[in-house]
Amino acid sequence: MAGIFIYSDKADITSEIIGFARLNGKLPVVLTLSEKDAQALRNAGADKIIVIKGQSEMIENYARAIAAVLKNEGAELFAVGATPRGRDLAARVAGYLDCAMVSDISSASYKDEQLICTRMLYGGAVQQTEKLSGLSVITVPAGKYEPVQGEASLQTLELQADTRVSVVETAPIVKEGVDLSKAEKVVCVGMALDKAEDLQIARDLANVIGAEVGCTRSIAEERHWLPAESYIGISGAVVKPKLYISMGVSGQIQHVYGIRDAGLIVAIDTNEKAPIFKAADYGIVGDLYQVVPMLTEALKK
pLDDT in tens, 52-64: 999 999 999 999 9
Q: Average of pLDDT values for 25-45?
A: 95
Q: Give the pLDDT score at 123.
A: 66
- Which one-letter amino acid corresponds to residue 1? M
Q: Give the pLDDT score at 44.
A: 96
| pLDDT of 257 above 90 | no
| pLDDT of 33 above 80 | yes
The mean pLDDT of the chain is: 93
| pLDDT of 122 above 90 | no
**High-pLDDT (> 90) share of the chain, %:** 82
Q: Give the pLDDT score at 125.
A: 74
In Å, how far from its chain's centre is CA 102? Answer: 15
Q: Average of pLDDT values for 145-158?
A: 94
Q: Give the pLDDT score at 142.
A: 87
Q: Give the pLDDT score at 234.
A: 84
Domains of the chain, start order? 4-158 (3.40.50.620), 180-300 (3.40.50.1220)
| pLDDT of 183 above 70 | yes
Which residues, other chains included, contact 17 with Cβ-Cβ below 8 Å and sequence gap of 6+? 4, 6, 8, 28, 79, 81, 140, 145
Q: How confident is the model at residue 5 (pLDDT cuts 50, 70, 90)?
A: very high
Residue 112 region by backbone torsions, left for phi larger than 0, else alpha for psi between -120 and 50, else beta:
left
Give how far Cα 157 sits from Cα of 32, 62, 65, 83, 179, Å. Answer: 10, 12, 11, 24, 33
Buried b (16+ CB within 10 A) or exposed e, 222-235: eeebbebbbbbbbe
Q: Give the pLDDT score at 177.
A: 66
Judged by average pLDDT, the poorest of 36-45, 57-66, 92-101, 115-124 is 115-124
| pLDDT of 186 above 70 | yes
* pTM for this prediction: 0.78
pLDDT in tens, 204-227: 999 999 999 999 999 999 999 999
- Which of 262, 210, 257 has its CA nearest to residue 241? 262
Angle (CA) 54 77 129, round 5°: 135
